[in-house]
Chains A and B, each alone.
Chain A
Amino acid sequence: MNHQLPSIASKRLRRTRALRAVAVVLLGVVVTASVLVGLTDPASASSCSGPISEGEIRVVLVVDSSDLGGSSSATCLVVPAGTNGLQLLARRGTELGTGSPRYGSSGLLCAIDNLPADKRVCGEQNSDGFSYWAYFFDNGGNWAYGSNNPFSKRLTDGAIEGWRFVVGGCGCGLDPSPRIGPSRSLFPALAPAPGLAPLPEPPSASVPIPQSSGGANLEQQVGAAETGSLPVTTAVEGVVVGEVALASSNSTESSAGRWVGIAVVFVLIGVMAGGAWVQTRRSR
């Protein structure tokens, strides 16, 4: 059991090792802290009604959070070509100041515009079915259920994307679509509306489009929604249609208090680790 190396050398070795471990831990804490502190979102200005430059596209993003107490809105955005569905969603949050969308650790979209507000909720399944943010894209003037990853979806000029919070859905193409239909009129009239000719299919359009019965169902619902009294009004700049629920997107809680708590806990951990190290050394 006892394989004593020369004791001075081993003691020095042990001390170096312990120091190294402490240095690694400290480095990790500092890096994490600096990373958490230095988070800023770059914002860029762009106008959907003006002319767009080379390498940019105009797309409309419809978000329907009516079932969560929010509203339906359509936002026209100018983004770089090749932007994907999730980047578009993040861009919308930055432009409207509603905060960035929240994702679960599995990559599932939990909340848009901080709805649902409870951070523990992320795509729930109960006896009614699934409650989640469903993804849709424009397929020739009708919503088609997006069954592929929005990340792998590269947007083209004139594309219309939609998100609707579905309560008690089946998690399939039969789930209700956003209450605002994917119509060309969502693009501001100041600039020539792109894609007046038959829309070019999006690159990843080879996804399974919902079967005929589902399609008919969707169409009906979209039609019913459009004839209903929805707050679809063109805003001043033609950028935002409808109203966007400006929920308390930024946590009002100051992060300084949290840092104090974290510091206290890590002091506790340091005391325990130091005590454990001393005890181990004494027992050897």
Chain B
Amino acid sequence: MTAPRLLHPGAWWLWAVALSACALRTTNPVLLCLIIAVSGWVVVSRRADVPWSRSFASFLRLGMIVIAVRVVFQIFFGVRIPGTTLFTIPEVTLPDWAAGVSIGGPVTLESLMAAFYQGLRLAAVLACFGAATSLCSPYRMLRALPTVLYEAGVAVTIAFTFAPQAIVASRQVREARRLRGRSDRGVRAWSASALPVLEGALDRAVALAASMDSRGYGRRGSSSVSVRRGSVGLVLLGLVAIAVGSYGLLDSSAPALFRIPALGLGAAALIGALVAGGKSTMRTRYRPDPWIGPEWMVSLAGVVALGSFVLVGRMGDALSPSTNPLEVPAVPFVAVVGLLIAALPAWLAPHPPTLASASSPLAVAA
């Protein structure tokens, strides 16, 4: 067993993104439950003792809310398709120009199950995101970014840290309420604490941005204006192309141009920006995170799971069980094995350092 250390955040994010891509490829409830279980198991096994490592439960709760909202919307506004009617709610007759919209009517078991499957898929994606948030420090993620990406990276980091910061803030606000002898449960407490929580999280994100600025993030260095503009433009182009390409990869109905070509264009633009911008800026890094064996194994575990899902998708229709007519979802063996491989980081990744073993708490947090 290797010495306790924090895994490279890029490895955790790669693993989580691959796992969430698995979730987006399927509506099979059995596989989605297994994805949530795998991510939860890995989080519990390898999270450090830091404030944001407790955010996984909040993401699970958010997922339950998503499922509930999806099902409720289906009950009231869903498309009415025949099936086993469970109950009927009053139907609103709409004028002809709104013939595509239906409000009320018979609620069928098939439509509810379809809504549940879709909500569960989103909940699984949220669980993967929550796993990445709990497993790695947002500050380390920013440190690992290449020089040219700092400007975009600051924005991305603030976006990524907002959720964990909000969770830390909400815990503090609830604690404060409890100390004042007020209830910290129920709708009223929740609504009263919503504003301070949002405010606190935004404050923290801004403070993070300020501290990063004071440490030289996003500084121009001595490069000329034209080079700087060129590299920033390339970064923007590359990020947009990669966003389009990853959307195309995840959505199987997207045109072929939006998949590999867009990803390739984005990667080429980013590499160009790296080459152009990396020459001019000199930056040293204090104690860089290594990318060695465990990092490779963790990211490979995620990629293998994604590969198993792609394979199962090619072989048959087990990934999208029919809800109308309702059928018992099949359990594809290859996909289950792939997900179990994705659970291996619970053993492959090194243990995170505990507060007792680290020289100072800052070494864990920063």
Contact = CB atoms under 8 A, between A and B. Distances in A.
Contact of A148 (B99, B324, B329): B99
Contact of A118 (B37, B80, B317): B317
Interface string A105-149: 111000000000011100001000000000000000000000011
Instruction: Tell me what chain A mostly uses at the interface: helix, strand, loop, or mixed.
Output: helix
Contact of A39 (B84, B118, B320): B84
Interface string A12-42: 0000000000000000000010011001000
Interface string B320-332: 1011111111110
Interface string A259-271: 1011011101100
Most B CB contacts (10 A, CB to CB) among A90, A148, A276 go to A276
B40 A151 contact: no
Contacts of A39: 84, 325-326
A120 B330 contact: no
Contacts of B327: 36, 251, 255
A102 B326 CA distance: 9
Interface residues of B, number: 51
B96 A272 contact: no
Contact of A276 (B41, B79, B109, B111): B41
Contacts of A283: 49
B44 interface: yes
B41 A275 contact: yes
B30 A262 contact: yes
B253 interface: yes
B33 A266 contact: yes
Contact of B34 (A36, A119, A269): A269
B178 interface: yes
Nearest to B31: A265
A265 B328 contact: no
Nearest to A250: B325
A121 to B, nearest CB: 9
A207 B44 contact: no
Contacts of B30: 261-262, 265-266
B102 interface: yes
Given A120-B320, A265-B34, A266-B33, A258 B110 contact: no
A152 B99 contact: yes
B40 A276 contact: yes
A262 B102 contact: no
B45 interface: yes
A273 interface: yes
A280 interface: yes
Interface in B79-115: 79-84, 96, 99-100, 102, 109-111, 113-114
B38 A272 contact: yes
B352 to A, nearest CB: 11
A58 B239 CA distance: 60
Given A39-B326, A262-B328, A279-B44, A273 B99 contact: no
A102 B322 contact: yes
Nearest to A105: B114
B96 A206 contact: yes
Contacts of A276: 40-41, 43-45
A261 B38 contact: no
A269 B317 contact: no
B66 to A, nearest CB: 16
A233 interface: no
B253 A105 contact: no
Interface in B300-324: 317, 320, 322-324
Q: 6 shortest A-B CB distances, which residue pairs?
A: A107-B79, A261-B331, A119-B317, A103-B324, A276-B44, A105-B114
Interface of B: 27, 29-31, 33-34, 37-38, 40-41, 43-45, 49, 78-84, 96, 99-100, 102, 109-111, 113-114, 117-118, 175, 178, 253, 317, 320, 322-331, 333, 336, 340, 343
Interface of A: 3, 32, 35-36, 39, 86-87, 89-90, 99-103, 105-107, 118-120, 125, 148-149, 151-152, 204, 206-207, 251, 253, 255, 258-259, 261-262, 264-266, 268-269, 272-273, 275-276, 279-280, 283
5 contacts: A36-B326, A103-B81, A149-B99, A204-B99, A262-B30
Given A39-B84, A118-B317, A262-B329, 12 more contacts: A36-B328, A105-B114, A106-B79, A149-B99, A151-B82, A258-B328, A261-B330, A262-B328, A265-B30, A268-B336, A272-B37, A279-B44
